[in-house]
Amino acid sequence: MSSFEAHFQHRQSAHCESGVMASLLSHAGLPMSEPMAFGLASGLAFAYLPIVKLSGMPLIAYRMPPKHLIKTLSKRLGARLNSRTFGNPEQGRRELDALLDQGRLAGLQSSVFWLPYFPPEMRFHFNAHNLLAFGRDGDQYLISDPVFEEPVRCASADLQKARFAKGALAAKGLMYWLDDVPQQQDWEKLIRQAVLGTTRILDGMPLPWIGIRGIQHLAKQVERLDPAQAKYNRLYLTHIVRMQEEIGTGGAGFRFMYASFLQEAGEKIGAAELGEASTRLTAIGDDWRQFASACVRASRSKGEAPDFRPIAEMLRGIAGQERALMKELGAWSKRKD
């Protein structure tokens, strides 16, 4: 193991993309926590997309789509993002090896299903997982997978299969790395810009499926569930829970991670308003967790048909609180003082 590999620090993260970006930036000399990477890229969102189906269920996302964090964050920080996809898998492997042999870190997009180090029950066909390769040892790659506690190893044939898995969101071997990361940043400006971006995504889109309106839309769908379709209802409600909690979100569909960002950002630039917003978002996150528990309780209940109205009301309560919070954060981000 070379000295370079020894000084790369693996850090466990809640979410893959923010974790990879935090590691890449920290390694390039700009210390960055995962919540900061997530918040500065305006990663928080909500979307209910009935047209995109995941095993017959609508896509429910609590964050911006894949690659948003990578692109937005590099742009805002003024770092140069290099990225490559490959038509020929063999070339993809050679270029990864060449980058690693130069002592560089390589961000990779891959499928979750074909990574052998994932526990079987966590494996599903999601092609937009992100991980870092930081070295090679014989036929194995040294991998810093952000959602794992420790670095892992992956045989080259397995990594190859995962990088070039076909299907929705196919990675086509996507490989990315950062150059010229400026060490000096105007944090005040960055934070205001990022917070404003998030308020616009959550409460400024003229579409009924995105942001606060998306949450209200989901409430309506939950309310309309037909009590006679017990099996479908169970799968539908637990599907929401899986989207919110299972797929590395740091708890409550990224709300806790974003609250952590608000706190850290507030301390960094001395803005007490952000600290207060963080406390409120933590409470909203707790409501999201309660909502998830209620979904599971309703799925479990045997015998008489569950009443979905209180669950829908919880969502409307959350939507109202997030809207109020976004209004205040929007006003703060535009204030000049």
Residues of this chain that interact with another protein (CB under 8 A) are 12-14, 35, 53, 55-56, 113-114, 118-125, 147-149, 161, 165-168, 234-235, 238-239, 241-242, 245-246, 248, 250-252, 256-257, 259-260, 263-264, 278-279, 282, 285-286, 289, 292-293, 295-296, 299-300
β-bridge pairing 44-54 and 140-144: unpaired
Alpha-carbon span 181 to 289, nearest angstrom:
37
Query: Which CB atom, from 98 or from 168, has the smaller least distance to another protein?
Result: 168
Question: Nearest distance from residue 227's CB to another protein, in Å?
Answer: 18
Query: Which CB atom, from 82 or from 85, has the smaller least distance to another protein?
Result: 85
Question: Nearest distance from residue 121's CB to another protein, in Å?
Answer: 4
Alpha-carbon span 224 to 14, nearest angstrom:
33
Query: Which CB atom, from 210 or from 247, has the smaller least distance to another protein?
Result: 247
| Listed residue (246, 243, 228, 327) closest to 280, CA to CA | 327
Token pair for residue 299? 């799925």
Question: Nearest distance from residue 142's CB to another protein, in Å?
Answer: 18
Query: Which CB atom, from 75 or from 300, has the smaller least distance to another protein?
Result: 300
Question: Nearest distance from residue 268's CB to another protein, in Å?
Answer: 13
Residue given tokens 């893959």 in the structure block = 16
Query: Which CB atom, from 181 or from 281, has the smaller least distance to another protein?
Result: 281
Question: What is the number of helices (H) and of strands (E) in the chain?
Answer: 12, 8
Question: Nearest distance from residue 32's CB to another protein, in Å?
Answer: 14
Query: Which CB atom, from 211 or from 248, has the smaller least distance to another protein?
Result: 248
Question: Nearest distance from residue 206's CB to another protein, in Å?
Answer: 29
Token pair for residue 22? 């935090």
* Amino acid (one-letter) located at 314: M
Alpha-carbon span 56 to 308, nearest angstrom:
21
Burial of 219 (0-12, 13-18, 19+ CB in 10 A): buried
